[in-house]
Amino acid sequence: MKLSYSAVLALGTTTSANHLFVSSCGGNITTLSLTESNGTMSLESTFFNADCRPNPLCLTLNVGRGMLFCLDEGLTAPNGSLGSFTINRDGSLNHVKNETTISGPVTGVIYGNPAGRRAIGLAPYSGSSVSSYDLDGNGQFHLSQSFTYSLTLPGPDADGQDAPHPHEANLDPAGQYMLVPDLGADLVSAYGIDFNSLNLTELAPLKAPGGCGPRHAAFYNPTNVAG
C-alpha cells in the first residue's frame, strides 16, 4: 500500500486525531484515524472509499482547499484516471469527479499559486507522457497540456527501457519548475511553470548515464547557507 500525506484535525485538548489516507491497488482508499489520548496512541480504519477503482496508486493532498486527488493506474485497462474528493472533518471522502487519463499515471504534483489558480502535473508511466490538468476549484478539473515522448532506439536495460517511462513528478523548492525522472529514456525532463497561465514549457532535460533509469528526485535545500 502507498501512504499519502496526512491531514490533521484537532478534536480537543486531551485527545487529537490525524487522518491518514492510504491507497491500495486492491481498489480502496482507506482513512486511518491515528489518535492520542493521555499519552496512548491508537490507529484504526474508519472509512473506505471505492470511487478511484480499479487500481488507486498515488494520492495527492491539496491541504488549503480540503481536496484529495487520486490516480488510478489502470493496470488491467487501456487508460488510467484522475479522481477528486472533498475531505470531511471526520476524514470521510466525498467523490466529486473522475476523468480518463493517458495510461499508467503513477504520480501527481500540484503547482501554481496557493491562494489562486492551481494545476496538477501527472507522470503516466506506461503512456510515455507528462500531462497537466487545471484545477477549477471544488474538485473540478480539465486537461490542459499533454507531452508524449518516444525513443529512437531502446535503452541498455531491455526490461525497462523499451520506451520512455516518466516515473515521478516533482516541484523545485521555489515552485518554478517541474522535474520528471524518466526511467526509460535515462533523463530528467524539465518544465518551466508560467504562474499566469499555469502552462508548462519544455526545457533542456538533465541527462543520466545510459542504463541508469532515473526513477525519483529530491531537492537538497540546506538551512543557514548563504547564496
Q: Looking at the chain, how many residues does it have?
A: 227
Per-residue pLDDT of the chain (227 residues; tens, 9 = 90+): 343 433 333 323 334 458 999 999 889 999 999 888 888 989 999 999 999 999 999 999 998 889 999 999 999 899 999 999 999 999 999 999 999 999 999 999 999 998 889 999 999 999 999 999 999 989 999 999 999 999 999 999 988 999 999 999 999 999 999 999 999 999 999 999 999 999 999 999 999 999 999 999 999 877 755 54
In this prediction the pTM is: 0.88
Candidates 93, 92, 97, 62; CA nearest to 81 is 97
Instruction: Give residue for cell 524518466.
Output: 182
* Backbone dihedral angles phi then psi of residue 148, each to the nearest 5 degrees: -115, 140
Candidates 72, 79, 107, 102; CA nearest to 180 is 107
